[in-house]
Amino acid sequence: MQYEIKQLDKFKFIEEGNGEPLVLLHGLFGALSNFRDLIEYFRHYYKVVVPMLPLYELDLLHTTVGGLEKFVHRFIEQRDYRNLHLLGNSLGGHVALVHVLKHPERIKSITLTGSSGLFENGMGGTYPKRGDYEYIKKQTELTFYDPKTATKDLVDEVYEIVNNRLKALKIISLAKSAIRNNLGEELNQIKQPTLLIWGNNDTITPPFVGKEFQRMIPGSELHLIEHCGHAPMMEVPAEFNRILHKFLTKLNEPAAVA
């Protein structure tokens, strides 16, 4: 399904459905396609919003986790979203965490999947020689439990990014910023209900990272999914959507009378 990409000032985004906003933040090599199944399912229950994060548009100085958070904050303010559910994968999860720590007032819940912010294995400290397609293919496949999830279109997209010198520099800048911006000492300040959905075969943010988030974020709940890597919403969308829908539905149920 194709979705209309809207533009308002410098913000590009999609917005599908009605109800409380469910804002999705993609990761370092992320795109709309990462959330296809999630959008299609939840647009019947929520206003699903995916802002296009300016991974390659910011100047190098502001190509950081903090720079992306400021962009997300301005976007949420401009659209005047309230009682929103914020979901982030990988770097998007890290940006979501920084945002809720700085601006918790509009956030009703947080969902993290394969989030950075505590520990992550990147694609290495430096990128390989340009033109090394097989290397990029193997590295992209490592994102998933099932290598076939890394379609040729996805590998081609990553290959194009890595072979563009400026884009590659910005990816490295963001990866280094994510490593520097460790949130371990701040996570206990989060008050919002928090859902953690982790692939049990994630090699980039391994399962112990999800367990650490659960330990540090008060009242958070963790779901580990077998035979699943770094992007559960892509690899096991039906299971991912089931867990997320149950969590969100529970938030809107009236509290049980003692």
Domain span including residue 83 = 6-122+182-251
* Element housing 49 (H / E): strand 47-51
Q: Distance (Å, rounded) from C-alpha 194 to C-alpha 247?
A: 9
pLDDT in tens, 174-222: 989 998 999 999 999 999 999 999 999 999 999 999 999 999 999 999 9
| CATH code of 50's domain | 3.40.50.1820
Pairing of the two strands 11-16 and 6-8: antiparallel
Mean pLDDT value across the chain:
91
Q: Distance (Å, rounded) from C-alpha 214 to C-alpha 173?
A: 28
Grade residue 256 by pLDDT with cuts at 50, 70 and 90.
very low
In this structure, is the dihedral angle defined by the CA atoms of residues 201, 205, 207 and 210, taken in order, positive or negative? Answer: negative
- Cα 105 to its chain centre, rounded Å, is 20
Domain assignment present for residue 128? The answer is: no
pLDDT in tens, 15-39: 999 999 999 999 888 777 789 999 9
Q: Distance (Å, rounded) from C-alpha 76 to C-alpha 107?
A: 10
CA-nearest of 45, 22, 19, 21 to 35 is 22
Q: Distance (Å, rounded) from C-alpha 215 to C-alpha 218?
A: 7
Mean pLDDT of 107-113: 98
Mean pLDDT of 93-110: 98
What is the structure's pLDDT at 125?
A: 45
Domain assignment present for residue 149? The answer is: no
Domain assignment present for residue 212? The answer is: yes
Q: Distance from first CA to last CA of the chain, Å, rounded?
A: 46
**What are the counts of helices (DSSP H) followed by strands (DSSP E) for the chain?**
9, 8
Torsion angle of alpha carbons 236, 101, 51, 227, nearest 10°?
-10
Which amino acid belongs to residue 244?
Answer: L
Q: What is the pTM of this model?
A: 0.93
Which amino acid belongs to residue 154?
Answer: L
What is the structure's pLDDT at 60?
A: 86
Domain assignment present for residue 115? The answer is: yes
Mean pLDDT of 128-139: 78
- Number of domains composing the chain: 1
CB 49 within 8 A of CB 21: yes
What is the structure's pLDDT at 122?
A: 60
Lowest mean pLDDT across 91-105, 147-161, 236-250: 147-161
Domain assignment present for residue 79? The answer is: yes
Per DSSP, helices labelled H in the chain are: 36-42, 65-79, 91-102, 133-141, 152-162, 165-180, 207-216, 232-235, 237-251
What is the structure's pLDDT at 20?
A: 97
User: Please, how many CA atoms are within 13 Å of residue 116, restricted to the half-sphere of its CB?
Assistant: 23
Grade residue 162 by pLDDT with cuts at 50, 70 and 90.
confident
Q: Is the pLDDT of residue 257 over 70?
A: no
